[in-house]
Amino acid sequence: MEMPKIPVPGVRNLITVGSGKGGVGKTTVSVNLALALTGLGHKVGLLDADVYGPNVPRMMGINESPHANGDRILPIQQHNLKLMSMGFLSPGDRPIIWRGPMLHSVMQQFVRNVEWGELDYLIVDLPPGTGDVSLSLAQTTAITGAVVVTTPSDVSLEDARKAVLMFRQLHVPLLGLVENMSYLIAPKSGERVDVFGQGGGKRTADQMQIPFLGELPMVPEVREGGDSGKPVTLKGATDGAAKPFFELAELVIARAKEVSAHKGPTIAVED
């Protein structure tokens, strides 16, 4: 018997960001997508569910631990985002060595016992692959839809297809596929360089019959922003390096509205 998928109280749209493999910039996309949604005037939370490699604290410039309010966890707030990450609880280089049941428990804690409040969007940065965390969340929580991140390389696209099929098997709507590190612009010549190939994300999205959410170029400002704790999207929608993330956010908003209109509201009411 299938477990009921329960909405998160107060959260209008829960959107997962996943990938079939690591190294495609999934967390970078999650962080900048969340900040772009905030920049567009929405109330947003970001849950770093990548328990083995929680990079959100560094990318958001946070070096502190969350506080408790009774049996509830208060999320850390930064740049108008509400944040929760295993990296807040296990900082530094200490590895997380957990099996499936423990991962399920901590995910339920992060989803159900954090004071998210009223949010328009809760972005969940999933671990790469199709493992226990993704499975636990998708089987127990009402998800508006999933964004799959890939690069144009054939290896990445092969694993992205697996992620798409996982979400389909778990009955999670696909908001679309976004191609990260799509190309770079040579600084002197201005020439476009397709480091990992060209057009693979669009072709794969068409083959899988899901929306293509666009190309995100490789630019130094994105890497520098993540390393320094000042993500590029903080510069605003008019900044050349940040603009693609705002365009992605607008597409995600539109797709979330389409999906929600199709299946009805999933917002839960606080007890």
CA separation for the pair 246, 167 (Å, rounded): 25
Burial 213-246 (b: 16+ CB within 10 A, else e): bbbbbbbeebeebbeeeebbbebeeeeebbbbbb
Cβ partners under 8 Å of residue 261, min gap 6 = none
- What residue ranges define each of the domains in the chain, with the CATH number in brackets? 14-261 (3.40.50.300)
Q: Tell me, what DSSP letter sits at residue 20?
A: S
Q: What's the pLDDT tens digit per position in 75-123?
A: 999 999 999 988 877 655 554 544 445 555 677 788 888 999 999 999 9
Q: Which of 152, 128, 140, 134 is nearest to 19 (CA)?
A: 128
CA separation for the pair 50, 225 (Å, rounded): 20
Compute the average pLDDT of residues 262-268.
56
Q: What's the pLDDT tens digit per position in 202-219?
A: 999 999 999 999 999 999
- Which pLDDT band, with edges at 50, 70 and 90, does 2 fall under? low
Specify the pLDDT at position 108. 76
| Contact call for residues 178 and 50 (beta carbons, < 8 A) | no
Specify the pLDDT at position 53. 73
Whether residue 26 is predicted with pLDDT greater than 50 in this model: the reply is yes
Specify the pLDDT at position 269. 37
Q: What's the pLDDT tens digit per position in 165-205?
A: 999 998 999 999 999 999 887 777 777 888 877 888 999 99
Whether residue 23 is predicted with pLDDT greater than 70 in this model: the reply is yes
Order of strands across the sheet that contains 14-18: 76-78, 81-85, 44-48, 121-125, 14-18, 145-150, 174-179, 212-215
pTM for the model stands at: 0.89
What does residue 179 show for φ and ψ, rounded to 5 degrees?
Answer: -100, 110
